[in-house]
Amino acid sequence: MPQPGRNVRSKAGLNRSILDAAPAELRRQLEYKASWYGSEVAVLDRWFPSSKTCSGCGWKNPSLALSEREFVCAECGLRIDRDLNAADNIAAHAVAPDIGAGAPGRGESVNARGGGVTPGLLREPGPPPSKREDAVSSGTAPPRRGDPPTFP
């Protein structure tokens, strides 16, 4: 039986902590709050090659190693930090998804594998949504932890 790697117990704890952060709940909350303000949450495909694509001309370097911290484009000669290049690509995708892909004006685009991607919440025309905080309160607030107990 092969021996497990080093620090297995601490890595398992880290994995539990990451999963405890509930990334799906974070995304649900972002989409929910964005709908209050009429905004859209731009979601990229998990496999979108943001750091391997030139933010200047769109050329892709599939053999770019993670250890290479500078992106150098073989087509247009752009030299830029790998993370800044990825940030530019993500920002460009959020503002103007692939032209001609999906239905115009519906927030659809094509992911890195060629499949259609549609944001989860598309606002229908109508009155703007109201915030829960704007709703009329029922009168008294529930007691807080530090408040002394009250008896009827």
What does each of the 152 residues of the chain score in pLDDT, given as a tens digit? Answer: 566 667 777 778 888 888 887 888 888 898 889 888 888 887 888 888 999 999 999 999 999 998 999 999 999 999 999 999 999 998 888 765 444 444 344 445 555 555 555 555 555 566 665 655 555 555 566 667 777 777 76
pLDDT of residue 42: 79
pLDDT of residue 102: 42
pLDDT of residue 149: 72
pLDDT of residue 47: 87
Whole-angstrom Cα distance, residue 49 to residue 62?
9
pLDDT of residue 119: 52
**How many CB atoms neighbour CB 27 within 10 A?**
13
CA proximity to 99, closest of 38, 61, 54, 58 = 58
- For 27-83, give the DSSP string: HHHHHHHHHHTT-------TT--TTTB-TTT--B-TT--TT--EEE-TTT--EEEHH
pLDDT of residue 143: 66
